[in-house]
């Protein structure tokens, strides 16, 4: 089972510390701050949300809440939250239903950075994806979050080019969401993808790890807590290939050893896996992470599929590495 995901800032996506009760000019308030400039106030019982919201407004503008014009110079986002366990709540039957209010002053950049609204249906989307019109897909995705589900459904069959294009598109869409500082839809998509890799879902998320990897690649600092969770999914055989591919790609952008403790014995065992593609991908991961493990020439010569700019190519592992 994956580790519990830590709560994140609803503005920037960073993992947040638990709010603490502090004495202020406005009384005792349970709150915390994020490096992005947002502050968050907790109402632990769910019964005094109006008071907590007022506290958030006063903390954001100590000179007077009359200076706050929501949607114009400040924005509020909120989420069900349990203070005792420090986690967001997604089940309405959960016994401890508090609330966490985030408030942040809007900057000129955050108010003006936007994209034109483009309305498309799934048929239009598939056509855009086949033609690799990622610019239009990015713009449309910011106004239609159904696109996340469409991408997931198109990613299953790795024998089809559109599956690889869907994974590529997820990364581009994630960058678009990061650019407008709308992180929560990306977090929600990661949760859905992780769920698709559980027994409860039927374990249908065969390429979910690669999709999650693309989201992390958009801004690894925002999603660093997901990296070890993603690696833990290798324990299920049906996801192993996708996890290895995700880790190989992430290694191009982050130092994986800062988040994951690789065991040489495990990697050596994977080099003896019954599937050739697992052997080859493990060899590439070993090289990318600079592990001192010998890899045979036979494994280096295993042919695996790689994707580049709309094409699936089949290359020997030692040559495929530059495309992963």
Residue 108 has pLDDT above 60, yes or no: no
29-47: average pLDDT: 92
**Could you give the CA distance from residue 240 to residue 178 in angstroms, rounded to a whole number?**
28
CB atoms within 10 A of CB 289: 17
Give pLDDT tens digits for 113-133.
Answer: 445 567 788 999 999 999 888
Q: What is the pLDDT of residue 90?
A: 63
Classify 270 as helix, strand or coil. helix
Q: What is the pLDDT of residue 261?
A: 92
Looking at the chain, list the stretches that DSSP marks H as alpha helix, in order from N- to C-terminal side: 49-60, 108-112, 122-130, 134-141, 146-154, 161-179, 184-195, 208-218, 226-232, 240-250, 264-270, 276-288, 297-300, 317-320
16-44: average pLDDT: 93
Do residues 55 and 31 touch, judged by C-beta distance below 8 A?
A: yes
Residue 310 has pLDDT above 70, yes or no: yes
Residue 2 has pLDDT above 60, yes or no: no
Residue 112 has pLDDT above 50, yes or no: no
Burial class (CB in 10 A: 0-12, 13-18, 19+), 165: buried
**Could you give the CA distance from residue 155 to residue 204 in angstroms, rounded to a whole number?**
11
Residue 203 has pLDDT above 50, yes or no: yes
30-54: average pLDDT: 89
251-270: average pLDDT: 94
**Could you give the CA distance from residue 269 to residue 266 in angstroms, rounded to a whole number?**
5
Kindly state the greatest CA–CA separation across the chain. Answer: 72
**DSSP letter, residue 18:** P
Residue 247 has pLDDT above 90, yes or no: yes
Q: What is the pLDDT of residue 45?
A: 87
**Could you give the CA distance from residue 209 to residue 122 in angstroms, rounded to a whole number?**
23
Classify 27 as helix, strand or coil. strand
Q: Which helix (H) or strand (E) holds 303?
A: strand 303-308
Q: What is the pLDDT of residue 10?
A: 86
166-170: average pLDDT: 96
Closest among 278, 282, 281 to 293, alpha carbons compared? 282
Q: For the ranges 44-58, 219-233, 240-254, 295-309, which has the lowest average pLDDT?
A: 44-58
Q: What is the pLDDT of residue 3?
A: 46
Residue 228 has pLDDT above 50, yes or no: yes
Per DSSP (E only), the strands in 25-94 are 27-33, 39-43, 74-82, 87-88
Q: What is the pLDDT of residue 1?
A: 36
156-167: average pLDDT: 92
Do residues 39 and 103 touch, judged by C-beta distance below 8 A?
A: yes
Residue 17 has pLDDT above 80, yes or no: yes
Name the pairing type of β-strands 74-82 and 303-308.
unpaired
More confident residue, 191 or 1: 191
Do residues 119 and 140 touch, judged by C-beta distance below 8 A?
A: yes
Q: What is the pLDDT of residue 201?
A: 67
Percent of the chain past pLDDT 90, that is, above it, reads 54
């Amino acid at each position: 089972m994956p580790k519990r995901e830590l709560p994140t800032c609803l503005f920037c996506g960073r993992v947040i510390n638990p709010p603490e009760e502090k004495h202020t000019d406005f009384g005792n308030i349970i709150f915390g701050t994020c490096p992005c400039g947002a502050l968050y106030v907790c109402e632990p019982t769910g019964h005094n949300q109006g008071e907590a919201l007022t506290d958030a407004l006063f903390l954001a503008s100590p000179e007077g809440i009359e200076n706050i014009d929501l949607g114009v110079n400040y924005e509020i986002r909120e989420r069900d939250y349990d203070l005792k366990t420090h986690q967001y709540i997604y089940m309405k039957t959960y016994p401890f239903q508090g609330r966490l209010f985030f408030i942040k002053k809007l900057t000129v950049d955050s108010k003006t950075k936007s994209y034109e609204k483009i309305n498309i249906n799934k048929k239009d989307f598939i056509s855009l994806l086949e033609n690799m019109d990622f610019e239009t897909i990015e713009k449309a995705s910011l106004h239609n979050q159904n696109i996340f589900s469409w991408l997931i459904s198109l990613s299953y069959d790795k024998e089809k080019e559109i599956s690889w294009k869907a994974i590529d598109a997820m990364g581009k869409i994630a960058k678009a969401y990061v650019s407008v500082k709308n992180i929560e839809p990306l977090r929600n998509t990661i949760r859905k993808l992780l769920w698709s890799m559980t027994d409860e879902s039927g374990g249908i998320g065969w390429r979910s790890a690669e999709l999650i990897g693309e989201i992390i690649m958009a801004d690894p600092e925002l999603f660093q807590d997901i990296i070890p969770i993603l690696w833990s999914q290798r324990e299920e055989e049906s996801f192993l290939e996708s996890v290895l591919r995700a880790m190989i790609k992430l290694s191009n952008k982050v130092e994986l050893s800062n988040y994951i403790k690789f065991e040489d014995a495990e990697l050596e065992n994977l080099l003896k896996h019954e599937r050739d593609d697992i052997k080859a991908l493990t060899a590439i991961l070993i090289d990318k992470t600079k592990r001192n493990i010998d890899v045979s020439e036979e494994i280096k010569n295993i042919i695996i599929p790689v994707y580049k700019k709309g094409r699936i190519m089949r290359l020997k592992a030692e040559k495929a590495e530059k495309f992963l």
